[in-house]
Amino acid sequence: MKKLALAGLLAAGLTGCSSEDPQVLNLYNWSEYMPQEVLDRFTEETGIQVVYTTYDSNEAMYARLKLLDESAAYDLAVPSTYYVSKMRQEDLLMPIDRSKIEGFGNLDDDLINLDIDPDNQYSIPYLWGTTGIAVDTDDVEGEVTAWADLWDERFQGRVMLTNDMREVFHVGLRVLGYSGNSTDPKEIEEAYEKLAELMPSVRTFNSDAPRMPYLEGEADVGMIWNGEAVMGKETMPSLEYVYPEEGIIAWLDSFVIPKNARNPEAAHQFISFVLQPEISALISEDIGYATPNQAARDLLDESVANDRTSYPTDEDMENAEFQADIGDDALQIYARYWEMLKSGR
């Protein structure tokens, strides 16, 4: 695995590297979600330096960008599916000039012009993936096939959950037979009660590098993003990725340009650079997530293209559910129960 861009490239964050200088692009992204080689090659080709700052949840990203002040003047961000819709509706995004984007025509028709952003006026797909079950087969006896298995008493104190409110509640809702996008207060309450039963088994929450609790021996089973499972398996071959019977959580991460971006021209350049088939293929091979770039898929190494963890089959995606925008009223209900869940109330 090539060296990845990590948090803390510049301890001062945006300070001292103003994007008023046209040779700087401030990129706000998830940890370990862009190969350093891509950033280096972009700089070599354009002369534009990239300042890479990270977040570990959509909620953290949203809270920062909503400030609309100098401390949050990022040129590009990478929100997940439903947050694109939320930020677009709240006028937090700058329209994307498609005439300046090269390679848009290579994107999978199934992943563009979605309800979250009709005609992709504000977002360009970057990567898509799934959240499923990680199992350390060296330490876990018997099969794990469903989200419901996480409640098995044999896993007490050995379960890992992502630090993501919507994802965790998605699991609780699916176990109960509900949609992971439920807006029904009663169903959300039931999911909270079900998840509260799981909490004695939960060792940790991690959305910074979800593979690490498994690699470090903290957890034996739990949630993980598929790309993290790919990277984790390189170090620990016993780490397996399971598509749960109740259905996988599916998501799409997209480039957006925040409304107060200082260098939108560089943002457009970077998006076009990433959409080059060679670059999109490099990213997918490096960090294990699926590219929406169809031209890039033809360039993938066979071992990557045929890896069900990165590129699920139709059978794997049976009962899969993409996260949707559920509105602020429902989000507030989730947030209240999330706080109660994590505080043990």
Q: How many CB atoms lie within 10 A of CB 191?
A: 26
pLDDT in tens, 240-249: 999 999 999 9
- The predicted pLDDT at position 68 comes to 79
Is the confidence at residue 70, as pLDDT, over 90? no
Is the confidence at residue 14, as pLDDT, over 80? no
Q: Give yes or no: residues 187 and 319 share one domain.
A: yes
- What gap in Å lies between CA 196 and CA 319, rounded to an integer? 25
Residue set of the binding site for spermidine: 32, 82, 164-167, 323
111: CB partners within 8 A, 6+ apart: 125, 128, 252, 292
Is the confidence at residue 2, as pLDDT, over 60? no
- The predicted pLDDT at position 345 comes to 61
- The predicted pLDDT at position 341 comes to 97
164, 253 in Cβ contact below 8 A?
Answer: no
pLDDT in tens, 270-319: 999 999 999 999 999 999 999 999 999 999 999 999 999 999 999 999 99
Does a structural domain hold residue 235?
yes
Does a structural domain hold residue 15?
no
Q: Give yes or no: residues 336 and 190 share one domain.
A: yes
| φ and ψ at residue 205, rounded to 5 degrees | -110, 135
* pLDDT interval class at 73 (50, 70, 90): confident
Q: Give yes or no: residues 233 and 279 share one domain.
A: no
Does a structural domain hold residue 218?
yes
- What gap in Å lies between CA 49 and CA 317, rounded to an integer? 39
Q: Tell me the CATH number at 177.
A: 3.40.190.10
The share of the chain scoring above pLDDT 90, in percent, equals 87
Residue 294 belongs to domain spanning: 24-128+251-305
pLDDT in tens, 254-273: 999 999 999 999 999 999 99
Mean pLDDT of the 111-135 span: 97
Is the confidence at residue 186, as pLDDT, over 90? yes
Q: Give yes or no: residues 157 and 204 share one domain.
A: yes
By residue count, the chain amounts to 345
The share of the chain scoring above pLDDT 70, in percent, equals 93
Q: Give yes or no: residues 161 and 285 share one domain.
A: no
The answer for 249, left when phi > 0, alpha when psi is -120 to 50, beta otherwise, is beta
Is the confidence at residue 43, as pLDDT, over 90? yes
β-partners of residue 255 are 124
65, 237 in Cβ contact below 8 A?
Answer: no
Residue 193 in 3-state DSSP? helix
Q: How many domains does the chain divide into?
A: 2
Does a structural domain hold residue 14?
no
pLDDT in tens, 16-34: 444 444 589 999 999 999 9
Mean pLDDT of the 139-168 span: 96
Is the confidence at residue 340, as pLDDT, over 50? yes
Is the confidence at residue 153, as pLDDT, over 90? yes
Does a structural domain hold residue 9?
no
Is the confidence at residue 253, as pLDDT, over 50? yes
**Whole-number mean pLDDT of the chain?**
92
Q: At what angle do helices 277-287 and 36-46 cross, to 10 degrees?
A: 160
Q: Give yes or no: residues 300 and 320 share one domain.
A: no
Based on the number of CB atoms within 10 Å of its own CB, is 204 exposed (0-12), middle (13-18) or buried (19 or more)? middle
Q: Give yes or no: residues 331 and 209 share one domain.
A: yes
Does a structural domain hold residue 215?
yes
β-partners of residue 242 are 133
Q: What is the DSSP string of 253-308?
A: EEEBEETT-S-HHHHHHHHHHHTSHHHHHHHHHHH-PBPSBHHHHTTS-HHHHT-T
289, 310 in Cβ contact below 8 A?
Answer: yes
Q: Give yes or no: residues 124 and 134 share one domain.
A: no
User: pLDDT: is 205 or 12 the higher one?
Assistant: 205
Q: Give yes or no: residues 88 and 164 share one domain.
A: no
What is the model's pTM?
0.88
Query: Strands 257-258, 93-94: parallel, antiparallel or unpaired by DSSP?
Result: antiparallel
Does a structural domain hold residue 1?
no
- The predicted pLDDT at position 262 comes to 94
Q: Give yes or no: residues 245 and 167 share one domain.
A: yes
| Amino acid (1-letter code) at residue 266 | A
Residue set of the binding site: 32, 82, 164-167, 323
- Output the six-digit token pair for 233: 């398996």
Exposure string of 160-174, with b = 16+ CB inside 10 Å and e = fewer, is bbbbbbbbbbbbbbb
Does a structural domain hold residue 3?
no
| Amino acid (1-letter code) at residue 279 | I
